[in-house]
Amino acid sequence: MSDFSRIAFFTRVLQKELRYLQETDSSLFESSFTVQRALELPDNPALSEKVEAFVSRFGRLQDTLGDKVLPLVLELMAEPVGVQIDNLSRAEKIGLIQSLDEWLTMRKLRNRMVHEYIEDSSLFTEAMIRAHEFVPQLEFTVEKVLAETTKRGWLGEN
């Protein structure tokens, strides 16, 4: 698969993943996510499924961007591609992500959401609220990637 075919594929994936995250985010955070709601998770399958979907979709979109799409975009822009932190730093410099530090914070949040809700409802609640606050940054990055691929004509060169 050529790089242009790959970027076309990933732009479609990004659009779907973002839409699914936005839908779950909107539904889950329709009302405040509180410690009380976190404590209800074992006895509320519908809420538990929404939380599970949000955590999964948040992590998946971040992984798709950080592990696959940003390195590919950098490569297509003739930028050096290296370890993830270097790629994120370059992505920040060229405006594809808003903040390297906040991106790294998002990575840590993902791990907290996956592991800590079992043990500490308060920490889990804080992580969920923070992740909800980071959704606009993921939206920003997806929009920037889509704009860059369109501007450079990469989608028409399959």
Largest CA distance in the chain: 52
- Residue 120 makes CB contacts below 8 A (sequence gap 6+) with none
List the domains of the chain with CATH numbers. Answer: 3-152 (1.20.120)
- Residue 36: CB partners within 8 Å, gap ≥ 6? none
pLDDT of residue 139: 98
Residue-wise pLDDT tens digits, 57-80? 999 999 999 999 999 999 999 999
70 and 88 in contact (C-beta within 8 Å)? yes
Percent of the chain predicted with pLDDT > 90: 84
Write the pLDDT tens digit of every residue in 20-36: 999 999 999 999 999 99
pLDDT band at 116 (very low <50, low <70, confident <90, very high): low
pTM, two decimals, is: 0.92
* Concatenated DSSP letters of 107-125: HHHHHHHHHGGGT-HHHHH
